[in-house]
Amino acid sequence: MNITVFGAGYVGLVQAAVFAEAGHRVQCVDIDAAKVRALNEGQIPIFEPDLPGLVARNLREGRLSFTADVAAGVNLAEVLFIAVGTPSNEDGSADQSHVASVAKSIGTHMSAPRIVVIKSTVPVGTNEMVRDIIAGAMREAGREIGFDVASNPEFLREGAAVDDCTKPDRIIIGTTSKHTEDVLRALYAPFNRSHDKLIVMDPRSAELTKYAANAMLATRISFMNEIAGLADRLGADVELIRKGIGADPRIGYAFLYPGIGFGGSCFPKDVRALIRMAGLAGDEPLILNAVQQRNALQKHMLVDKIARYFGGDLKDKTFALWGLAFKPKTNDMREAPALHIMEALWAAGATVRAYDPEAMDECARHYGPRDDLRLVASRDAALDGADALIIATEWKVFQSPDFAAIKGKLKRPVIFDGRNIFDPAYVAAQGIDYFAIGRGLRPAD
């Protein structure tokens, strides 16, 4: 098929490359001309495993291209995907302005029947809004052309997005049109071979399914963070608790890892948007409010432990920080716990020496030059002159360090581990004080 994807951000770029890899002719449209030029030269603006090779191969073989020409994108393809961002408004609702803008452009330029597919994460009712905007733009242009709008939410994990696209666990299609269902079944056939993963439902249910999925995962994280806080107070080990409850097949192990809160471009934004949707619908989302409140508290928990350890005085202290991205295998720092940690330390008069395998440039872009931030070339360089080590992201490169070197370099042999990547007893046996999440207080032996 000929496919156009509007939006060369995280979702749009990955989906466009994967469709092209399956043999379709794909054009990705973005209004950022500089980004378009860079993408056509094979320069990828995000870190995502396997994506650069996928984009380069399909550019070279002519199945994938990038353009800022909206009209060309509308008229190239039979199927048009909307994959633009929906960031949070100040009231927590999802900003649909980019979706509305694409819908208006489609209606303005459409010259033949099209199937419009909403891939963006959007509030319930957006399918109808997009349909109305396209129809209105066509009326203004003096045209009447048949079209349909389907909802097809994405379920990509940053760091595994290519895999999630090529081997999805489910493909949600929100449509009441048999023709649209048949077209999308054919489009997704290469990714739907071992068993039928395609689930068809009405558009409103499809839109809410996306939010419900992310809210459920966020709930599991916040629940375990709450249990971790209780474990700290009662002298239990949350890692043992995690294994004990995860062994129950009704619960499972996924998303039961306590830490310093969830971040990224999806969970915080989507929980806020769902809370806002519930309020507008006249419902009080008790659980979602608690999930959000626990996550906000969790992001300050490690700094509170640090402040207590140093007697409340962090002024002129220097902290080594391992990890900036909100999770491994990405350079995304949106709402990353590391941001909250650094800003709290700075507010207390401390300096940070930070290292991340992929997010250094993003951190420099986010903060610019600061006297109290040093971005260093390696995990070990971050330790130089530091009073303590903080771990904010569980990159594999951090998980087997030389503890003797850590102890030798730090002014105070202490680790504050926000991701529970070490065994407390082992670290304490190395003569290092170790504070994690829900694992009790483990001073050095």
Span 204-241, pLDDT tens digits: 999 999 999 999 999 999 999 999 999 999 999 999 99
Rounded to whole angstroms, how far apart are CA atoms 137 and 149? Answer: 15
pLDDT number for residue 81: 98
Is pLDDT at 146 greater than 90 in this prediction? Answer: yes
DSSP state of 41: T
State the CB neighbour count (10 A cutoff) for residue 444. 14
Looking at residues 132-150, what average pLDDT do you find? 96
Q: Which residues contact 212 (CB under 8 A, 6 or more apart)?
A: 274
Rounded to whole angstroms, how far apart are CA atoms 30 and 213? Answer: 28
Q: How much is the pTM?
A: 0.93
Is pLDDT at 194 greater than 90 in this prediction? Answer: no
Q: Is the alpha carbon torsion for 21, 270, 395, 357 positive or negative?
A: positive
Helix (H, G, I), strand (E, B) or coil at 86: coil
CA-CA distances (angstroms) from residue 113 to 119, 146, 160, 178?
A: 19, 5, 34, 16
Mean of all residue pLDDT scores within the chain: 96
Q: Which residues contact 312 (CB under 8 A, 6 or more apart)?
A: none
Where on the phi/psi map is residue 316: left (φ > 0), alpha (ψ -120 to 50), or beta? left
Rounded to whole angstroms, how far apart are CA atoms 253 and 363? Answer: 32
User: Residue 246 — very low, low, confident or very high, per pLDDT cuts 50/70/90?
Assistant: very high
Q: What is the CA radius of gyration of the chain?
A: 24
CA-CA distances (angstroms) from residue 170 to 115, 175, 200, 255?
A: 21, 16, 10, 18
Beta bridge partners of 25: 2
pLDDT number for residue 423: 95
Where on the phi/psi map is residue 257: left (φ > 0), alpha (ψ -120 to 50), or beta? beta
Q: Is 244 exposed, middle or buried (0-12, 13-18, 19+ CB in 10 A)?
A: exposed
Q: What whole-number percentage of the chain has pLDDT above 90?
A: 97
Span 358-378, pLDDT tens digits: 999 999 999 999 999 999 999
Catalytic residues: 266
Span 255-294, pLDDT tens digits: 999 999 999 999 999 999 999 999 999 999 999 999 999 9
Is pLDDT at 445 greater than 50 in this prediction? Answer: no
SS3 string, 258-282, reads CCCCCCCCCHHHHHHHHHHHHHHCC
pLDDT number for residue 184: 97
User: What six digits make up the tokens of 380?
Assistant: 């070990």
User: What six digits make up the tokens of 434?
Assistant: 């170790």
pLDDT number for residue 404: 96
Q: What is the DSSP string of 344-356?
A: HHHHTT-EEEEE-
Span 74-95, pLDDT tens digits: 999 999 999 999 999 999 999 9
User: What six digits make up the tokens of 16?
Assistant: 């466009």
Looking at residues 17-46, what average pLDDT do you find? 95
User: What backbone phi and psi angles, to 5 degrees, belong to 221?
Assistant: -65, -50
Tell me the residue type at 295: N
pLDDT number for residue 440: 75
Q: Which residues contact 244 (CB under 8 A, 6 or more apart)?
A: none
